[in-house]
Structure 1
Amino acid sequence: MKILLIEDDMDLGNGIRIALADQGMDVTWVRQLADAQRQVEQRGFDLLLLDLGLPDGDGMSLLAALRREREGVPILILSARDALSDRLQGLDKGADDYLVKPFELAELLSRVRALARRSYGFDGETLELRGIVLHAPTRRVTVNGRAADLTGSEYELLRMLMMRADRVVTRRALEEQALPGAQANASNSLDVHMANLRRKLGEGLVRTVRGVGYVIDQREGGR
């Protein structure tokens, strides 16, 4: 799971980064609002951890912008603002959860896993969708009980699409996160990988949204 951590406190940020990485999560850590905005524009993330009191602005403004543009991304606020009015404001503006500082890392990990389950049906190890089972610790994929021999890029493309089932993943996000630099720069590299992935998984699973990207529908024939 790809997580964007937005936290300006060095000690806390480093502790969170290490704790999440130890759980096998891919963490990008930034300390300023401007850097967070650039990361969100350039990359796709499965979950955001958002501090509110940032050196160059209030995290609430980023939360509002994200909810206007990226409704499906789960957001967990991490803040020392512990008044009920602050918590209600964060949740009303679109945060999925609110954790008051100081907190135990074990509680943070538990809430991250809960958000992943709620948003993606992901328990930290296994994703299941329409006969496809993806086991993250071993990177093993089965299709209706039969093992699928995927390359590293094909596995990552499938993981991204399954994590965002029913939501279109743009070509740019897929290229930047799933394909190595040389491959991503090739004009038809993504299409070739998708064709191979479809051949291994079976037709009808990955749907093309012309001019935008790809999507896996939770139900066959879904739109």
Structure 2
Amino acid sequence: MMNNSFFVIFILAHLIGDFVLQTDKIAKEKASSIKGVFVHSLIVILVQMLFLSVFGIKGIISGLISGSIHFFIDSIKLYISKNIFLKNKQTLYFLFDQAIHIAIILFLTLTFGKELGENYKEHIGYLKYAVSIITLTYASTVASKILIFDLDLVPKDKGFFMKDERILDAIVAILIWIIIGFIKWKLLIIALILVLFSLYLALGKKLYKYYNKVYFIKYIVYLIVSLILKF
């Protein structure tokens, strides 16, 4: 039987190390040099070891193994990043990359975490909320913008996110998640989802002047992620 506490805390540590603590500077260095990959991976290792230390030496070892593999994966990514066959396929690579990380975390949970006690079992609901919020505000906003770039819908000579764009998208993504996860009446859910999209579209066009399809695609991404997190 899987240790749910171990798995959720592991995922939370991964999200914090891989997204929350990855600044724009680190992201740029990671995409251009092995030094950047090392710094990013070291942060991931330390965060995972720290969070999993509540499970003792097996937790610390799991964090070290996962973080070390993270370095190996990102090093390969750096090596092939300029490959012409990867042009406009960064979304697929992003999803594949995260799938590998999660698979490794699952494997380590089923091996190292299997016989450990269910620490923080009574707090598992709050930990899942933390995972959901970070996934929505960081992972999904990054994934949606990568997809937009892959589809050539926004100029690539500008920054990854425009001013306050990520904040707006994070708020919208969380609101979608709240609507889907905490409201029981289906008609009300549909109505609120449509109203929220209208507001998002109007505000987004005023601030950033993207094509309408940009907001639609990003909104669909946040909707899909929210539905996945609901289960």
**TM-score, normalised by the number of residues in structure 2:** 0.29
Question: Which is richer in strand?
Answer: 1
Question: Which is richer in helix?
Answer: 2
**TM-score, normalised by the number of residues in structure 1:** 0.29
